[in-house]
Amino acid sequence: MHQQKRQPELMEGNLPVFVFPTELIFYADDQSTHKQVLTLYNPYEFALKFKVLCTAPNKYVVVDAAGAVKPQCCVDIVIRHRDVRSCHYGVIDKFRLQVSEQSQRKALGRKEVVATLLPSAKEQQKEEEEKRIKEHLTESLFFEQSFQPGLITMAILRT
């Protein structure tokens, strides 16, 4: 008997969406960061169409905010920050990438990417270094060793 190969029924909103990076950080003092690229991957055997939505569309320009991705291919989506003012420092905006099957309207999956504008790359690097050192110190295990002839004991101290 001949069996037909059936494609699984795709449920709305359940399809994993693969995007890199998952976070965009723009630096006001570094113009080279004002334009960044999101890469949308399609590992599937069928074509996808995509749409990019944003919580703050007036602050960004998204080149090719909608389009298609061939099976087992990827597309680059260019995002430009166009409102680099201090009142936007630290504000977290979101981009949502919705994907659907080429011939369908319903969204099969979506992925959110956060975007933040920071005042200075140098300032951020300093803060990250301080944070990393602080985390390293607070997460370290310190062992107390006491030496008595013929007996070695150890105690674990957490900070």
Q: Are strands 48-54 and 92-101 parallel, antiparallel or unpaired?
A: antiparallel
Q: What's the half-sphere exposure (Cβ side, CA atoms, 13 Å) at 133?
A: 6
With residues binned 3-state (H G I as helix, E B as strand, rest as coil), the percentages for the chain, rounded to 5, are 15, 50, 35
Q: What tokens were used for 48?
A: 């996808």
- pTM attached to this predicted model: 0.71
Give which of 38, 31, 32, 28 is closest to 64, Cα–Cα: 38
pLDDT in tens, the chain (159 residues): 555 444 445 555 689 999 999 999 999 999 999 999 999 999 999 999 999 999 999 999 999 999 999 999 999 999 999 999 999 999 999 999 999 998 787 889 999 999 999 998 777 666 776 776 666 666 656 666 655 565 555 555 555
Task: Give the CA distances from residue 45 to residues 48, 73, 107, in Å, rounded to whole numbers and listed in that order.
Answer: 10, 10, 17
